[in-house]
Amino acid sequence: MDTLDFLVRKDQLSRTELRTVPAPALDAGQVRLRVDKFALTANNITYAAFGDAMSYWGFYPAEDGWGRIPAWGFADVIESRCSGISLGERFYGYYPMSSAVVLQPIRLSTAGFSDGAAHRAALHAVYNSYLRCSSDPFHTAQTEDQQALLRPLFITSWLIDDFLADNNFFGANDTGDAIVLLSSASSKTAWGTAFMLAQRKGIEVVGLTSAANVEFCKSLGCYHRVLDYGRLEQVAADAACIYVDFSGNAALRKDIHTRFANLKYSSSIGGTHIDRLGSARDLPGPRATLFFAPAQIKKRSGEWGADLLGQRLLQAWQAFLGTLGKPGQPWLVVKRHQGPQAVSAAYADVLAGRGDPRLGHILALN
Ligand SMILES: NC(=O)c1ccc[n+]([C@@H]2O[C@H](COP(=O)([O-])OP(=O)(O)OC[C@H]3O[C@@H](n4cnc5c(N)ncnc54)[C@H](OP(=O)(O)O)[C@@H]3O)[C@@H](O)[C@H]2O)c1
How many domains, the chain?
2
Domain edge (last residue) among 268, 295, 322: 295
Q: Is the domain of 157 the same as that of 132?
A: no
Distances (CA, A) of 296 to 25, 130, 194, 257, 300: 40, 21, 18, 25, 6
DSSP classification of residue 252: H
* Model pLDDT for residues 93-139, shown as the tens digit of each residue: 999 999 999 999 999 999 999 999 999 999 988 899 999 999 999 99
Q: Is the domain of 6 the same as that of 132?
A: yes
Query: Which ligand 1 atom minimizes the distance to the CA of 213?
Result: 39
**Do the domain assignments include residue 147?**
no
Question: What's the confidence (pLDDT) of residue 355?
Answer: 82
Angle (deg, nearest 10), helices 340-352 and 42-49 = 80
Confidence of residue 328 (pLDDT cuts 50, 70, 90): low
Confidence check: pLDDT of 176 > 90: no
Question: What's the confidence (pLDDT) of residue 267?
Answer: 98
Cβ neighbour number for residue 23 with a 10 Å cutoff: 16
Q: Is the domain of 355 the same as that of 239?
A: no
Q: How far is the CA of 364 from the centre of ligand 1 (A)?
A: 21
Q: Mean pLDDT in the chain?
A: 96
Question: What's the confidence (pLDDT) of residue 324?
Answer: 84
Give me the mean pLDDT over the 2-17 stretch: 98
**Do the domain assignments include residue 129?**
yes
Q: Is the domain of 58 the same as that of 175?
A: no
Q: Is the domain of 258 the same as that of 342?
A: no
Q: Is the domain of 38 the same as that of 129?
A: yes
Residue type, 281: R
Query: Which ligand 1 atom minimizes the distance to the CA of 46?
Result: 47
Domain edge (last residue) among 278, 295, 312: 295
Pick the closest to residue 248 from 208, 214, 215, 193 (CA basis): 208
Q: Please state whether beta strands 178-182 and 129-132 pair in parallel, antiparallel, or not at all (unpaired).
A: unpaired
**Do the domain assignments include residue 325?**
no
Q: Is the domain of 171 the same as that of 86?
A: no
Query: Which ligand 1 atom minimizes the distance to the CA of 212?
Result: 39
Domain edge (last residue) among 245, 272, 295: 295
Q: How far is the CA of 21 from the centre of ligand 1 (A)?
A: 32
Q: How far is the CA of 185 from the centre of ligand 1 (A)?
A: 9
Q: How far is the CA of 42 from the centre of ligand 1 (A)?
A: 4
Give me the mean pLDDT over the 311-318 stretch: 98
| Domain coverage including residue 51 | 2-136+332-364
Q: Is the domain of 103 the same as that of 40?
A: yes
Are the CB atoms for 70 and 41 separated by under 8 Å? no
Confidence check: pLDDT of 327 > 70: no
Residue type, 39: A
Taking CB atoms and a 6 Å cutoff, what residues make up the pocket around ligand 1? 41-43, 46, 153, 156, 184-189, 209-210, 213, 246-247, 269-274, 291, 293, 352-353, 357
**Do the domain assignments include residue 234?**
yes
Cβ neighbour number for residue 305 with a 10 Å cutoff: 11
Q: pTM, whole model, 2 decimals?
A: 0.97
Cβ neighbour number for residue 142 with a 10 Å cutoff: 6
Rg (CA), the chain: 21
* Model pLDDT for residues 270-295, shown as the tens digit of each residue: 999 999 999 999 999 999 999 989 89
Question: What's the confidence (pLDDT) of residue 341?
Answer: 97
Q: Is the domain of 128 the same as that of 166?
A: no
Q: Is the domain of 97 the same as that of 159?
A: no
Residue nearest to atom 4 of ligand 1 (CA): 269
Confidence check: pLDDT of 308 > 70: yes
Are the CB atoms for 199 and 222 separated by under 8 Å? no
Question: What's the confidence (pLDDT) of residue 168?
Answer: 96
Return the bridge partners of 268, or none.
245, 290
Pick the closest to residue 309 from 318, 299, 321, 319 (CA basis): 299
Q: How far is the CA of 360 from the centre of ligand 1 (A)?
A: 12
CATH assignment of the domain containing 289? 3.40.50.720
Are the CB atoms for 48 and 348 separated by under 8 Å? no
Confidence of residue 175 (pLDDT cuts 50, 70, 90): confident
Confidence check: pLDDT of 343 > 70: yes
**Do the domain assignments include residue 326?**
no
